[in-house]
Amino acid sequence: MLPVVVVPTIAIAGSAERFPVRRIFCVGQNYADHAREMGNDPDRQQPFFFAKPANAVVENGATLPFPVRTDDLHHEVELVVALAAGGSDVDAKDAPGLIYGSAVGIDLTRRDLQAVAKKAGRPWDMAKGFDRSAPIAALTPGAPPETGRIALTIDGEGRQSGDLSMMIWSVAEIIAVLSTYVELAPGDLIFTGTPAGVGPIRAGQRVRAEIAGLEALEVSFT
């Protein structure tokens, strides 16, 4: 008997329907302050991308087991955009027309595994694409915000704070460049980068991520 494969979905604000997730792409170091804290030059260079599996998504309010194989789990709050249409070599001016909506997300990172991979010149897959590594709040349909506060707290203590206007590459530009590498499709999600202040999460802590105008995201770790 063939296995039954369930397509991951995420909630849609104000609707009983759910958005099916096809793929998850992430853009690295899209805020100058974060690039600097990671020891890199924030000059406006071509963006680079990595991926997470679709089933890495986590529902808002979830209590998660602390990830295995890491002693240095990090939080990265990000604006996530969801695509209702796709294409290749998309012009930046046409990119907004592909977007279904946006949400608050957290790119969870096993920073110790990432450091080892970087040093050895190896892929980041096991540092970024592990189980339950992509908590996402409900999608708000429509154009994503271009300005507004983006922030993250742990147990009420501020860790990350910035503004969406600080992005090096806009959402439209990210979509356009990504579409030169892969053919985008409905159901694709794109994490658009994180501001400075990334740092560790410990077992027993509660993480809250916020972007002005979008549903806040909360997850906790056992």
Residues 85-102 have pLDDT tens digits of 999 999 999 999 999 999
pLDDT of residue 44: 60
Residue 132 lies in a domain: yes
Do residues 72 and 199 lie in contact, with contact meaning Cβ atoms separated by under 8 Å? no
Residue 4 lies in a domain: no
Q: Which residues are CB-contacts of 106 (< 8 A; sequence separation ≥ 6)?
A: 75, 76, 77, 78, 134, 135, 136, 152, 207, 209, 217, 219
> Is the predicted pLDDT of residue 210 greater than 80, yes or no?
yes
Residue 169 lies in a domain: yes
Distance CA 29, CA 100 (A): 24
- Structural domain count, the chain: 1
pLDDT of residue 38: 66
Phi-psi region of 42 (alpha: psi -120 to 50; beta: other; left: phi over 0): alpha
Domain span at residue 87 reads 9-201+211-221
pLDDT tens column, 35-83 = 677 667 666 678 889 999 999 999 999 999 999 999 999 999 999 999 9
Do residues 190 and 54 lie in contact, with contact meaning Cβ atoms separated by under 8 Å? no
Whole-number average pLDDT of the chain: 95
> Is the predicted pLDDT of residue 119 greater than 80, yes or no?
yes
Average pLDDT over residues 191-206: 97
Residue 2 lies in a domain: no
pTM for this structure?
0.95
Bridge partners of residue 23, in order along the sequence: 188
Residue 122 lies in a domain: yes
Residue 206 lies in a domain: no
pLDDT of residue 202: 98
